[in-house]
Amino acid sequence: MTEIVRPTLLVDKEVCERNIGRMAVKANALGLKFRPHFKTHQSEKIGEWFKMAGVTAITVSSVQMAEYFAAAGWKDITIAFPLNVLEMDNINQLAGKIKLHVLVENVDAVNVLKEKLLHTVGVWIKIDTGYHRTGIDAVAFNETDVVVAAIKGREKLVFKGFLSHTGQTYLANSTDEILRCHFDALEKLKSLKNRYHARFPDVEISMGDTPAATLCTNFDGVNELRPGNFVFYDLMQQNLGVCQMEDIAVRMVCPVVAKHALRNEVVIHGGAVHFSKDSIRNTDGKKMYGRIIIEKDGKKILLDTMNYLSALSQEHGILKVAQSQFNQFYVGQLVEILPVHSCLTANLMGHYRTSEGELIEMMPRF
C-alpha cells in the first residue's frame, strides 16, 4: 500500500482462489462441466488460478478474447456471443488450433459457417430464457427447428445443444426472485432438451449467470455451468444477496485530494475511467458507485452506507461521508473502494496489483 500513489486495482488472490474453488467444487458435486467465463478478469495470470482448480475449458465474450486465451494455452473455448460472421478468418485460425465453440441464433450465421468453416467447430443455439437480449425465445420451437435443421449436413459443424444466459437474475429484487428466474429458465431449457433428445441423444444444456450459479442447487438436466463474475464478485452481487462482503476480491485504492466540509464530501482520484458508471441504489435512494474502506488504528474498516462513492466524472470521484466520519479523511490518504461492477472496472483498469505488489496484466485493448 505504501508505494501506491495513483488509482490502483488490488486483487486478493486468496479470495479469488476461495471463490473459484467453491464454484468448482459445487459444479463437480452437481455433475456439471465447469466452463467459467473469463470476461470478468481477462487475465492470463488469473486464468492460471483456475487451472490450479482443475479448470480446462473456458468461456469468453469475443473472438479477440478467445485469441488471447488460446495464445495463453487454453485449448477448449466457447465464444459466448452471437457469431460475428465478419470474423470467420479469425474463427478458422482459432478452430485450427483449439476446440472452439460458437453461438448461433439464426440461419444467416449458420449458412456462413457452413460455407466458410475450414475446421470443426462446436455450435450452440443461443436461447432466450427471459432476459430478451439475444437468443431464440425458449418457446419458439418453430424457430429453433429451422436453425437445428440448418446446422445438419455439414460434418465440420457439430451441434452441441442449447445455451442461455439468464441475465435477468442481475435485475432481481430478492434472492427469491433469482430462484424463480432460474427455475423458469431451467424448465424452458429442459423442454427444449426433451424435444430434441430423440434425434440428438448428446444434446446438452449450458447455463451460466453468477447469481443463480451461486445461490441455486437444482441444475437438473443441465450439463455445463458458465458463471464469470463470481471470481471477483462486487457490490452489485452483494446487494443482490448473492455474496458476502468478504467474498469481494477486488478493490480500488484511491488517493484523497480534497475535502469539502460544508457538504461533507471528499474528493478522490478515481473516476469513470477507473470504475465505469454502473451504479446501484444506496439506502438513501441515491446512486452509489462504491463503498469505502479506511484504515484506522492499523485495521481496515468498511464504513456504513452513510459513507459512499456518490458521483463520478472522468477522473474525479466524490465520497459523500457522514458528518461523524468526515475528520477520518485527509489529503494524501489512500482509501479503498469496493466497486459496483467488477467486470467493467477491471476492463477499464487493464491490470491488477496483488497485495504483495505483483503486477497482473490483462488482455491488451488491441
Stretch near its own copies under the rule CB under 8 A, chosen from 21-29, 153-161, 189-197, 307-315: 307-315
Q: Count CB-CB contacts under 10 A for residue 192.
A: 25
Residue 108 makes contact with its own copies by CB under 8 A: yes
Provide the b/e sequence for 263-281 (b: ≥16 CB within 10 Å): ebbbbbbbbbebbbebbbe
Residue 226 makes contact with its own copies by CB under 8 A: no
Taking residues 69 to 98 in sequence order and writing x for each that binds its own copies by CB under 8 A, - otherwise, the string is ------------xxxxxxx-xx--------
Find the binding residues for its own copies in span 172-201 (CB under 8 A).
Answer: none
Residue 215: φ, ψ to 5°:
-90, -30
Residue 351 makes contact with its own copies by CB under 8 A: yes
275 grid coordinates = 470504475
Residue 142 makes contact with its own copies by CB under 8 A: no
**What whole-number distance in Å separates Cα of residue 207 and Cα of residue 165?**
6
**What whole-number distance in Å separates Cα of residue 121 and Cα of residue 92?**
9
- Options 331, 355, 357, 358; binder of its own copies; rule CB under 8 A: 331
Q: Which H or E run includes 288?
A: strand 287-288
Least Cβ distance, residue 52 to its own copies (angstroms): 26
- Options 92, 93, 120, 134; binder of its own copies; rule CB under 8 A: 134
Q: Count CB-CB contacts under 10 A for residue 175.
A: 16
The DSSP secondary-structure symbol of 186 reads: H
Cβ nearer to its own copies, comparing 90 with 120: 90
Cβ nearer to its own copies, comparing 32 with 172: 172
Task: Residue 16: name the closest of 354, 341, 364 by CA.
Answer: 354
Q: Which residues bind its own copies (CB under 8 A)?
A: 4-6, 39, 61-64, 81-87, 89-90, 105-106, 108-109, 112, 132-134, 137, 167, 255, 257-260, 262-263, 267, 269, 272-273, 276-278, 311, 313-316, 318, 330-332, 334, 343-344, 347-351, 365-366
